[in-house]
Structure 1
Amino acid sequence: MKEQGLMSKQPGKHAYKNVQVERPDIPNLLARQFDVEQPNQVWCGDITYIWTGGSWHYAAVVIDLFTRRVIGWSLSNRPDTELAARALDMAYEHRGKPQHVMFHSDQGSQYGARKFRQRLWRYRITQSMSRRGNCWDNSPMERVFRSLKSEWVPSTGYCSINEAKRDVGYYLMNYYNWERPHQFNNGLPPAKAEKLAKMVSGFS
């Protein structure tokens, strides 16, 4: 690159907003009990950022903790409550509108907003939140994002939002769920591990 007079272009640093207050009204019910007994018992959600079309865009993802399967996601240029709600809506519809689910997230403002909490109430979903500043309280989501960014997303990001939606959507719902081996499932991809568990145990 030096001989050719080339310079690399890197995305700018992304600034996080730190939570300043604890949420005693939304307790950490999950308490790092990440091994659950069946599908649709506990879902986890989080938001990450992706460089797309010359600016930051944001992906909200929901997984089923049973086999770490991705069950909902959404992409937007704003990390707002609507983004988190769309990912939750997709998960709820995709899983057949289950009952008695717990939804766990970090203390992001999107998940504590009235609009999102009302959506959970409408779906009869119990809410759980990580403690402030404890990323390990939602570590399964951190693992999904680490895999997405280290294995799949181009180092220079995407050229357009449409390209990002196609590529990220394929990774999450197809490759990650159906093809990528997952250590938690003894080498089986999440969707295949869930399918096997249903055959063996008769989960609906």
Structure 2
Amino acid sequence: MRRDFAVDAARVNTRWCGDITYINTWEGWLYLATVLELRSRRVVGFAMADHLRTDLIADALGNAVAARDPEPGVVFDSDRGCEYTSRQYAQLAADCQVELSVGRTGQSLLIG
């Protein structure tokens, strides 16, 4: 099954994607989780922490939902990292009425 990355140009907040990056600082690693709105390609939510646990991406998704208040069913595309496939994250997404979509190993999220 192919994932659909088509974005309706007239509608924002229908498809989001996210990822985690890490930044080496003088005080150690800083982890940054982002939520990107695919139509505008703008960051709509983010979180930073000194750890790489599910709470990090949960905070980023929670911030995006609070900032954008999307309609139920916004699709969130991510990789298969253990944080994104955890039970805790799935429950948060369900509570926020966000549909989760994960790609196959090695599949890029930002196509086009």
Structures share fold, TM-score greater than 0.5: yes
- Which residue of structure 2 aligns with residue 159 of structure 1? none
Partners of 2:31 and 2:38 in 1: CA distance? 22
- Which residue of structure 2 aligns with residue 112 of structure 1? 85
Letter in 2 for 1:86: D
Partners of 2:29 and 2:4 in 1: CA distance? 30
Whose Rg is larger? 1
**Per-residue deviation, 1:98:** 2.7
Partners of 1:49 and 1:32 in 2: CA distance? 28
Partners of 1:100 and 1:74 in 2: CA distance? 22
* Structure 1 residue 91 corresponds to structure 2 residue 71: no
- TM (norm. structure 2) is 0.89
Matches within 5 A, 1:35-46: 35-37=6-8, 38-46=11-19
Contact 2:13 2:70 in 1 (8 A): no
Letter in 1 for 2:21: T
Question: How high is the sequence identity, in percent, across the aligned residues?
Answer: 35
CA RMSD of aligned residues (A): 1.8
- Which residue of structure 2 aligns with residue 58 of structure 1? 31
Structure (1/2) with the larger strand percentage: 2
Partners of 2:38 and 2:66 in 1: CA distance? 17
Structure (1/2) with the larger helix percentage: 1
Residues 132-160 of structure 1: per-residue CA shift (max 9 Å, x gap): 122x2x126xxxxxxxxxxxxxxxxxxxx
**3-state SS of the aligned residue for 1:133?**
coil
Contact 1:104 1:128 in 2 (8 A): yes
Partners of 1:94 and 1:120 in 2: CA distance? 15
Contact 2:14 2:70 in 1 (8 A): no
Letter in 2 for 1:118: Q
Partners of 1:133 and 1:97 in 2: CA distance? 29
* Structure 1 residue runs of 4 or more that deviate by more than 2 Å after TM superposition: none
1:124 to 94, 97, 103: 97
